[in-house]
Structure 1
Amino acid sequence: MRPCEQSTSAARRVPALPTTSSEHTHNYGLDRICPARYAAASSVRGGRMPRPSLLATFVLVVSLLASLSADASTPAAGDMAWTARPLGPASVATPTGSGGFIGDVLWFSTRQTTPPTLIGLDPATGRAVDQIPLPAGQGAWVSAASGTDVYVGTYTPAKLYRVDTVSGAVDEILTAGDSGAVIYALAVAPDGVVYAGTYESSGGRIFAYDPATGAVTDLGVTVPGQDYVRALVADERHVYAGIGAAASLVRIDRATLEFTDVTPPDLAGATFVSSLALHDGVLLGGVSPRGQLLALDTADPSRYELVQAPAETFVVAVAGGEAGRAYFAARPSGTLYGYDLWSGTAEVLAVPAPEKAANGLTFHDGRVWGLVDGLAYSYDPADGSVTGLPLDAAGVSPNPERPMALAADAEHVYVSGSGGVQIHDIARGTSSRVFVPGEAKSLWPTGDTVYLSVYTRALIYELPRVSGPVRSLADIGHEQTRPRDSFFDEPTGRLYVATEPDYGRYGGALAVYDTGAGELDVYRDIVKAQTISAVTADGDTVYIGSDIKSGLGTPPVATRAEVAAVDAGTGTVRWSVDAPAGATVIGDLQLIGGELVGITSTGLLFGLDQASGDLRWEHGLGANASVLTPSATGVYTTDGKSIFRLTWPEPGVPVVSTVYTGLAGEWAGPPTVAATPDGTALFAVQGRTLVRLDVPGELFAAVSASAASSWVGDPDRSRVWQAFVTVSVLDGHGSPLAGARVSTAWRSDSGRPPGAATTCVTGGDGSCVLRGTVADTAAVTVDVTGVAHPSLPRGEVEVSESVTVAAPERTFR
């Protein structure tokens, strides 16, 4: 079938509405998303008469007559009243960066929130003694103390700031990169020289700043071809740098700036040395994704050992402790470990924050201090006790963060961020947060469950109720870390997740999780050496789109993305085609009206034959939108600035209209529009605020009205006449909607109160006639205010349609 020729009433939206169909095909309510096919303009919409300003006495007699046929049209979405109502911050959190002590105050940065802030926390009182915002940046991963100053590194842009914790003054030291650049690592040498390590797609660099002279030195790309300097530590003679996405360890002579590779051969195949510390002449580092601690003798780098933390993937923070003793934290468990130097084994000490990553670890006053999102904790080696200091209780206010994913169901809107999902209650206007062990890159509500696809370990979770907690379902594995898209197929109960591989790895995957059986199948490298970036399904056929980029830190091998049809049970490719127009990223795929409709990261819309993959049409959106959201009134998409509506009045290329502008959404994931299952409301992000846009009722029921009038009695003597208004209603198919109750209100032009509201019920041809007897006025206006019918959202939609009825052509004497 062609677009707009479907007959099912099933509706599907992304990412929250499950679909059902007697044929088990997903046509997404195309019976209801093609209102633009009603192309014939009604007499009212084509030339609406001005409303009279005076009201005269009139007598209204309403009768329900046989219906009359009439064409109808729906105006362009841009002509309707779309307004965005703010609902508060989309997601709020206190994700922490690293930190350290100055005296007895723990200073640390915040990441992912705006503005990035340096916070001083007094453990003795459990209160925040200072919160100093930084001038720029979308967050701050790292900080390092030096005297009474703290140096803080931000990202997007990558700037180094010095904060005077006594006066609160903030000075900008250097800019290491603009949008997308990150200062990931900071170290202060014993003489006060500061070293900053960066992520840049042109290669990870190290900058040195000497506060004594003010000189800034760019040490250049640390390892050619490697984009990440993830960890730094310095002593009197050397700076040590942990590198990725192919794990390396580099020693830099601080006097000569000579670089020496001291990477142990056993690190071959690892992705990162992601955390570093120096203790008792030993360099300690975390090795990813192996969950190993590296201990290396700084006097003889050929002497080293790797200590395996059981069932761990990441060593996220390390710190020296007492003489001969060190500590490290690992994920996914969130366990704190102890390590006696050169013992070869790690000791489980405590799980201060289950499943959370310690973003900073330091040893102070005989205790180990850790920073996790929303919490600082201390571990006492003397008695093994753990004390937690929740940051909200300490007076640290959560800040709005950039959303990562957005979805909605009938009662809630879900916004994912760093370490949690913000759940907005639509009716109450309140929100709460549920902890997630990572970042949910894709959300799919269905029934009373929300499926979450979570980074950093490509995990599948479910949120069985809005109060939480989340429950682990599956670990995709296969060197996958970052979910890019998901699709839940209601008839089969399968959840499909498209993933990107780990840093430095090639070959994304399609994960197929059977929610009924609890079984997982993973098909990797279906599109060779590319990420799977988009997924949808129909029965046993899964449709996928790719991104030529693989794991971060890898150069692309392919030059063009692909779209493929895959057997859900075997992973066999049924057909595969190159993306149109040389596109390198498929942002989304949807099955619409028998066609596979896709959009590229540059906003190119295209339609493929579902059975063969043959290209049927392509059309530029004119904006870099990438997520398509089908709903009852059209397919919506956004570039983060504007919201666009796609409809199919004819087979082939859609009609694109702009329904709202001025969002300026600040996203950490692809900008998205969500829709309620009935399609009556859209949700988007304006800045970092969640907004609601009520969909005009005209898009659900196409209404037209026509007018006629005649004199009562002798027109030469009578001042009384009859007004006739015929209202016609079409359903989503463009067919007459019989049995619809039409609500109207009459008014005239003399300043007296308007007449009572009246109704009529449409007949078999979708129309009904309202009749009114009028006296002493030249015109009346009938406002059509609503249409009620079981097929409409919540049984009724508001309508804004008016027709003015003029007196018959004869002036009063």
Structure 2
Amino acid sequence: MSRRRLLWAGGGIGLAAVAAPLLNATAQAAPEGFRTSVTDLGPGIVQFALMSGIQVGDTVYIGSRNLAPTRVIGFHLPTRKVVSQTEIGYGHSIQALAADKDGKYLYAGVLTKGDEGKPNLYRWDLSTPDKPAVGVGRTEDRDIRELAVAPDGTVYAVGGIPGKAPALWMYDPADGKMTNLGIPDPKATLARAVAATDKTVFFGAGSVLSGGGEASKASLYAYDRAKAEFANVTPTELEKDPSVRELAVFGDQLVVSTSGSTEPAKLAVMDLADLSSYAVKSTDGKVVKNLTAAGDVIYFATDAGLYSYSTATEALAPVEFEGPDLGEIWGLDHADGRLTVVSGYGFVGEIDLAARTSVITELGKAGAPLSPQTAMGIAADDTYVYVGGNNVIARHELGTDKVLNLRAPGEAKDAELLAGVLYTGQYSSQGMWAYDPANDKQPHQIASFPSEQNRPLDVCQDPVNRLLLVAAQSDTEGGGSLWTFSPKTGKKQAFINPVDENQTVRAVTSRDGVAYLGGDNPTTTGPRGTVVAFDPVAGKELWRIDLPTSLTTGVAALAVQGVNLYGLTRQGGFLVIDLKTRKVVHTADHRDICPGFAAMVTSRGMVYGVSDTTLFRFDPKTFAVSNVVPEINGGWYSGPHVNADDDGRLYTMRGRNLVRIDDRKVS
């Protein structure tokens, strides 16, 4: 039984954990009387992670996600084998795929973390699949989220870049030029939907990221190709949703879907000849996407599964079939009475609609290249280390080479282990999930929270009140929340905007039954960052401190050691608050080792921090910082993480490999 398990169960009982032997450990000279060893535990997560899928003829083309190199593979339906692939080699994911009407060219749009001036639109000639895709254009919006090819072969792209309203982009294959056609919605933060006819291009946008404040909600514009003019054609019923999610043209109809927030997601069917004539259907899902059609029946995916909508009868119904949970769906097509589903779990499903049967093909077994993925949350005890990723949580069994991939939809942003049970905060709008290796085959949801509070960022335990605490952000409405959950009773609470209406709750830690919340303001007005002491049972603020003006960005991470609360900002600012006097007693600038997001953990009486570049340690008396593992350069998808096992050994990422750091003070 682990020390953490005993403390959780009985209070004042302690047990010294036995340190497992370090395999392949490499000793490092450590200053200030510390001995540090780093053990490489191998790739954190290995799978073929994906983010898009489209069927062209009898082949499904699938774009990778958070893998290196970025690639597109071709899965041949008749043989159920991966028969082709092309490496893009730039960016981290492929969310947008589109083919021309003849199925000769496949276009791929790239998501990146920085604009390096390289092409983000690629074209693959499917008649010669052995030849690689080539870069043909670049949108200045950096990320391409969706593509559409008009009947005449002209390509249209939409996407976004932080801090800038998205534009409609056009690529003309005749002259190879990429053109900015304008920004129809100057208050939008992201565009994820585009469709094109020979006369009109439809542009769908909103604020699914960086919402709140003056950011717009769902907006739909029609661009007249001949007149080069935009017209707002948003159905009134969609205007409360944060964003238009997808667009498709089927015959003489335009089909529009949304992402939901405070209301469920919706489906709208519009008459192309008269866009003021339309029907809107509300769903039970938080998002509607992946539109395909057969006659007058439209098929689509939600977070709850597959659904059909009849335009003739206006009936909405789930697609019933025998088969597994499909998870997060990134591709859906219909042909010859079958639906082809591309699942984020890494498989292709073929559903016979008449027979209500399915065939599932794991892409790894079909020949898809398996490679290490960038990681998210990490949790560890004396038996297992868990690494979160896209639609997967990898379970590493300590002392062995055994790694088991568990399936959980969305993204495990952060996690905590209590009494051997894993608890995760799942993005997007998935709430909290749990996995008990002694009793569960797969993780399962244990608590839901308001759907607009969609992005859990930090998970910790409150041993006094026996609660799990989760810091969360609302991407669509702005602000954030604190979630609490009792593993014993199942009781849950959500405290909305405990810092203020602009600041998300990016970090949470606990001491003596008090939760300390780290606020971060992504807007241009108000305090940059605030630390709030909060009663997680009564839901009441106890006191607050605004960050000193020298710290120009909000809180990224918090940790408690003794009577001191440590905080790191998003650009390496460091502060220490004396919890007795409630005053800031120390500040420093650590941008040289902590240039962006960060995480912290308390272990063996010390506070450790990790950034994208470095693992470091703070002296508990002087607060001086020391590098423990320089140039660790972890392969993270959405900010670094670090956690400790029952013996105080640290776990984080070095590149895309999981590493264990044993940092001991030498007497």
TM above 0.5: yes
- 2: CA distance between counterparts of 1:330 and 1:413? 31
Query: Do the aligned residues in 1 keep the contact of 2:560 with 2:602 (CA within 8 Å)?
Result: no
**Structure 2 counterpart of 1:370:** 341
Q: Is residue 227 of structure 1 aligned with residue 189 of structure 2?
A: yes
- 2: CA distance between counterparts of 1:564 and 1:329? 40
Alignment-mate amino acid for residue 535 of structure 1: V
Deviations 1:262-321 (A, max 9, x none): 001111210111011111211112222123211111111111111122x32111221122
Q: Is residue 267 of structure 1 aligned with residue 228 of structure 2?
A: no
Which of these residues, 204, 216, 220, is aligned with residue 166 of structure 2?
A: 204
Query: Do the aligned residues in 2 keep the contact of 1:408 with 1:675 (CA within 8 Å)?
Result: yes
- 1: CA distance between counterparts of 2:87 and 2:568? 39
Query: Do the aligned residues in 1 keep the contact of 2:563 with 2:580 (CA within 8 Å)?
Result: no
Alignment of 1:586-735 (within 5 A): 586-611=555-580, 613-621=582-590, 622-624=592-594, 626-632=598-604, 634-648=606-620, 650=621, 653-679=622-648, 681-696=649-664, 699=665, 702=667
Aligned CA distance change for structure 1 residues 77 and 306 (closer, same or farther; 3 Å): farther
Query: Do the aligned residues in 2 keep the contact of 1:76 with 1:657 (CA within 8 Å)?
Result: no
- Could you tell me how far 1:456 is from its partner in structure 2? 0.3
Alignment-mate amino acid for residue 179 of structure 2: T
- 2: CA distance between counterparts of 1:21 and 1:465? 22
Alignment-mate amino acid for residue 531 of structure 2: V
- Could you tell me how far 1:391 is from its partner in structure 2? 1.0
Aligned CA distance change for structure 1 residues 517 and 98 (closer, same or farther; 3 Å): same
Aligned CA distance change for structure 1 residues 548 and 429 (closer, same or farther; 3 Å): same
**Structure 2 counterpart of 1:565:** 533
Alignment-mate amino acid for residue 135 of structure 2: E
- 2: CA distance between counterparts of 1:523 and 1:452? 18
Query: Do the aligned residues in 2 keep the contact of 1:605 with 1:618 (CA within 8 Å)?
Result: yes
Aligned CA distance change for structure 1 residues 17 and 241 (closer, same or farther; 3 Å): farther
Alignment-mate amino acid for residue 477 of structure 1: P
- 1: CA distance between counterparts of 2:464 and 2:541? 22
Structure index of larger Rg: 1
- 2: CA distance between counterparts of 1:100 and 1:490? 48
Which of these residues, 305, 308, 313, is aligned with residue 338 of structure 1?
A: 308
**Structure 1 counterpart of 2:255:** 284
Aligned CA distance change for structure 1 residues 214 and 478 (closer, same or farther; 3 Å): closer
- Could you tell me how far 1:79 is from its partner in structure 2? 7.2
- 2: CA distance between counterparts of 1:360 and 1:222? 28
Query: Do the aligned residues in 1 keep the contact of 2:429 with 2:455 (CA within 8 Å)?
Result: yes
Which of these residues, 273, 279, 295, is aligned with residue 269 of structure 2?
A: 295
Deviations 1:397-424 (A, max 9, x none): 3222111112221122211000011111
Which of these residues, 389, 396, 408, is aligned with residue 361 of structure 2?
A: 389
Find the residue that maps to 2:599 and give its secondary structure. coil
Identify which of structures 1 and 2 has the higher relative contact order when contacts are C-alpha pairs closer than 8 Å and 6+ apart: 1
Which of these residues, 79, 104, 111, is aligned with residue 148 of structure 1?
A: 104
Alignment-mate amino acid for residue 569 of structure 1: V
Query: Do the aligned residues in 2 keep the contact of 1:292 with 1:308 (CA within 8 Å)?
Result: yes
| Aligned alpha-carbon RMSD (Å) | 2.6
Aligned CA distance change for structure 1 residues 17 and 620 (closer, same or farther; 3 Å): farther
- Could you tell me how far 1:448 is from its partner in structure 2? 1.3
Find the residue that maps to 1:671 and give its secondary structure. coil
- Could you tell me how far 1:620 is from its partner in structure 2? 2.6
- Could you tell me how far 1:609 is from its partner in structure 2? 2.7
Aligned CA distance change for structure 1 residues 510 and 303 (closer, same or farther; 3 Å): same
Query: Do the aligned residues in 2 keep the contact of 1:96 with 1:109 (CA within 8 Å)?
Result: yes
Q: Is residue 521 of structure 1 aligned with residue 493 of structure 2?
A: yes
Deviations 1:354-399 (A, max 9, x none): 3622212122233222211111122223333222222122111322
**Structure 1 counterpart of 2:372:** 400
- 2: CA distance between counterparts of 1:90 and 1:18? 29
Alignment-mate amino acid for residue 653 of structure 2: V
Find the residue that maps to 1:359 and give its secondary structure. strand
- 1: CA distance between counterparts of 2:301 and 2:55? 19
Find the residue that maps to 2:181 and give its secondary structure. strand
Aligned CA distance change for structure 1 residues 476 and 280 (closer, same or farther; 3 Å): same
- Could you tell me how far 1:353 is from its partner in structure 2? 5.1
Aligned CA distance change for structure 1 residues 127 and 76 (closer, same or farther; 3 Å): closer
Which of these residues, 161, 168, 173, is aligned with residue 136 of structure 2?
A: 173
**Structure 1 counterpart of 2:152:** 191
Aligned CA distance change for structure 1 residues 491 and 85 (closer, same or farther; 3 Å): same
- Could you tell me how far 1:508 is from its partner in structure 2? 0.8
Which of these residues, 541, 544, 554, is aligned with residue 585 of structure 1?
A: 554
TM-score of the two chains, using structure 2 as the length reference: 0.88
Q: Is residue 138 of structure 1 aligned with residue 111 of structure 2?
A: no
Query: Do the aligned residues in 1 keep the contact of 2:561 with 2:606 (CA within 8 Å)?
Result: no
Alignment-mate amino acid for residue 462 of structure 1: A
- 2: CA distance between counterparts of 1:357 and 1:286? 16
- 1: CA distance between counterparts of 2:33 and 2:488? 46
Aligned CA distance change for structure 1 residues 692 and 647 (closer, same or farther; 3 Å): same
Alignment of 1:68-79 (within 5 A): 77=31
**Structure 1 counterpart of 2:352:** 380
**Structure 1 counterpart of 2:456:** 483
Q: Which runs of 5+ in 2 are unaligned?
A: 17-28, 208-216
Query: Do the aligned residues in 1 keep the contact of 2:238 with 2:266 (CA within 8 Å)?
Result: no
Query: Do the aligned residues in 1 keep the contact of 2:8 with 2:418 (CA within 8 Å)?
Result: no
Find the residue that maps to 1:588 and give its secondary structure. strand
Query: Do the aligned residues in 2 keep the contact of 1:585 with 1:601 (CA within 8 Å)?
Result: yes
Query: Do the aligned residues in 1 keep the contact of 2:453 with 2:475 (CA within 8 Å)?
Result: yes
Find the residue that maps to 2:237 and give its secondary structure. helix
- 1: CA distance between counterparts of 2:6 and 2:498? 27
Query: Do the aligned residues in 2 keep the contact of 1:18 with 1:446 (CA within 8 Å)?
Result: no
Alignment of 1:414-433 (within 5 A): 414-433=386-405
Alignment-mate amino acid for residue 303 of structure 1: S
Size of the aligned set, in residue pairs, is 623
Find the residue that maps to 2:437 and give its secondary structure. coil
- Could you tell me how far 1:139 is from its partner in structure 2? 0.9
- 2: CA distance between counterparts of 1:678 and 1:236? 65
Find the residue that maps to 2:276 and give its secondary structure. coil
Find the residue that maps to 2:319 and give its secondary structure. strand
- 2: CA distance between counterparts of 1:499 and 1:405? 14
Range moving further from structure 2, 186-195 or 217-226: 217-226
Query: Do the aligned residues in 2 keep the contact of 1:18 with 1:489 (CA within 8 Å)?
Result: no
Alignment-mate amino acid for residue 536 of structure 2: A
Which of these residues, 85, 97, 101, is aligned with residue 51 of structure 2?
A: 97
Find the residue that maps to 1:112 and give its secondary structure. coil
Alignment-mate amino acid for residue 448 of structure 2: D
**Structure 1 counterpart of 2:60:** 106
Q: Is residue 313 of structure 1 aligned with residue 283 of structure 2?
A: no
- 1: CA distance between counterparts of 2:578 and 2:34? 34
- 1: CA distance between counterparts of 2:65 and 2:645? 31
- 2: CA distance between counterparts of 1:249 and 1:267? 9
- 1: CA distance between counterparts of 2:593 and 2:326? 39
Aligned CA distance change for structure 1 residues 683 and 203 (closer, same or farther; 3 Å): same
Which of these residues, 325, 343, 348, is aligned with residue 297 of structure 2?
A: 325
- 2: CA distance between counterparts of 1:676 and 1:337? 43
- Could you tell me how far 1:349 is from its partner in structure 2? 1.4
